[in-house]
Structure 1
Amino acid sequence: MDTQIMETRDDTSRRITTLPVLETAQLTLRPWKLDDGPAIDAHFSNYEVAKMTGSKPYPYLPNSGFGVIASQHGKFLRGLCYEFALICKDTQEIAGGCGIFKRKPTSHYELGYWLGQKHWGKGLATEAGNAVLDWAKAALDADTFVAGHFADNPASGRVLTKLGFARVGKENETKPMFSLARGGRSPGLVYIWPASKAATTPLSALH
């Protein structure tokens, strides 16, 4: 897949022609390639992974990964999605994905990430999130990010806190979030970066 196609953003004169390659201690973050599709299929064939996302179905049909990559690329061309594949430096395996996206052109950028189950608990999501946020701040002039996770995924909340996000809403307040794999809505928690904006941002305005 050609990721060199020019993309024009609606809110700035900057032009993003391709995603860079980013490096962390454990990971290389690079643009997705079409032949990464089978690795995506393998990870999301695990319900424990699929159910933590909003858009991945379960059962996850073979060869669906090709469509995921094509869809991300189309959104990239419209300035709505900048998604990186996470490659483990020690094994060269695809561990997951991390990026920012917009639900609509006027939305804040939203941070999203996922990891295959064998890669949980190694600090990879925090490494990837820091790298993506630093890139987005510099390349896209982004100064506000939102994120969310299902209430039964507290590990994701710990990642977001480490990244400098803060919960939006009252202490025990949740917001229904849709999951295709779960077949409906489940309680979710919403966050914003920088943390200083959490106290003045209404929960109803996000996610």
Structure 2
Amino acid sequence: MKYDNQNKTITTNRLVLRLLQKSDAGAVARLCNNYNIYKNTLYLPYPYSIEDALSWIELHLDNFNDNKLYEFAITDKESGELYGAIALSNNQKFNNGEIAYWIGEEFWGNGYATEAAQAILQFAFVEKQYHKVFARYFHSNPASGRVMQKLGMKKEGILIDHVRKENRYEDLIYYGMINSDRL
């Protein structure tokens, strides 16, 4: 993982994580306007419009510069194609943050979420000096949990019927990692 502070990019073997631009709104809307992504995320609306993408993207640079939230497009290192997005929150009071991600359905199963999340973990622990990083997923989305396991995160607990999605309650499964655990 290589972090470029000036350009706010993270480069991995196959990916470049970069700030989203207004020009990405069409691709974001196309990928997010998918029921299979909506049903596995806490906050994405459905249907998902280009206006949703633009209003989301316009906050990224200010949030990044204010050290509130670091949101990156997950893109192909060679072609620049947008695969998804990954975010890292910043709770300065507790020196921790949450990782959240989504990958367009056509790109599932290629390890992009894991590769991007490994880079974000390193960004959190090395660049931002976090003490802890955590993530959570719906019980109905075990693929997201496998990403967390591959990162070496430990299961910390299950919040039973914690959120309501489409008139049903979902368990949220929490995983976490302390900076010293990754050695």
Pick aligned residue for 1:101 from 89, 98, 101: 89
- In the alignment, what sits opposite 2:58? 70
Contact 1:50 1:57 (8 Å CA) reproduced: yes
Partner residue in 2 for 1:140:
128
**Residue 194 in structure 1 maps to residue 178 in structure 2:** yes
CA RMSD for the aligned pairs? 2.4
Q: Tell me which protein shows more strand as a share of its residues.
A: 2
CA distance in 1, matches of 2:145, 2:137: 7
Q: Please show how residues 54-203 of structure 1 align to structure 2 within 5 Å.
A: 54-102=42-90, 105-107=92-94, 108-169=96-157, 173-178=158-163, 182=166, 185-194=169-178
Query: Could you list the per-position Cα deviations for residues 105-163 of structure 1 after superposition, in whole angstroms to 9, with x for gaps in the alignment?
Result: 53520011110001111111110011111122121111201110000110111110111
Contact 2:87 2:100 in 1 (8 A): yes
Question: Which sections of structure 2, spanning at least 5 residues, go unmatched?
Answer: none
1:54·1:177 contact (CA, 8 Å) conserved in 2? Answer: no
> Which SS does the other structure have where 1:141 is aligned?
coil
- Secondary structure of 1:174's counterpart equals strand
Tell whether the 8 Å contact from 2:161 to 2:169 is kept in structure 1 after alignment. yes
Instruction: Give the C-alpha shift of residue 62 in structure 1.
Output: 3.3
Q: Which stretches of structure 1, 4 residues or more, deviate above 4 A after TM superposition?
A: none
Unaligned 5+ segments in structure 1 are 1-16, 198-207
Letter in structure 2 aligned against 1:189: I
CA contact (8 A) 2:132 2:179 kept: no
**Worse overlay, 122-131 or 91-100:** 91-100
Bigger radius of gyration among the two? 1
Normalising by the residue count of structure 2, what TM-score does the alignment of the two structures yield? 0.84
Closer/same/farther in 2, CA of residues 74 and 90 from structure 1, 3 Å limit: closer
Amino acid at match of 1:34: K
CA 1:33–1:132 in 2, change beyond 3 Å: closer, same or farther? same
SS of alignment partner, residue 47 of structure 2? coil
Aligned length: 176
Q: Structure 1 length as normaliser, TM-score?
A: 0.75
2: CA distance between counterparts of 1:183 and 1:64? Answer: 23
Measure, in 2, the Cα distance between the counterparts of 1:163 and 1:83. 19
Q: How far apart are 1:187 and its partner, in Å? A: 1.4
Identical aligned residues as a percent: 30
Distance 2:42 2:15 in 1: 24
Report if aligned partners of 1:167, 1:190 keep a CA contact under 8 Å in 2: yes
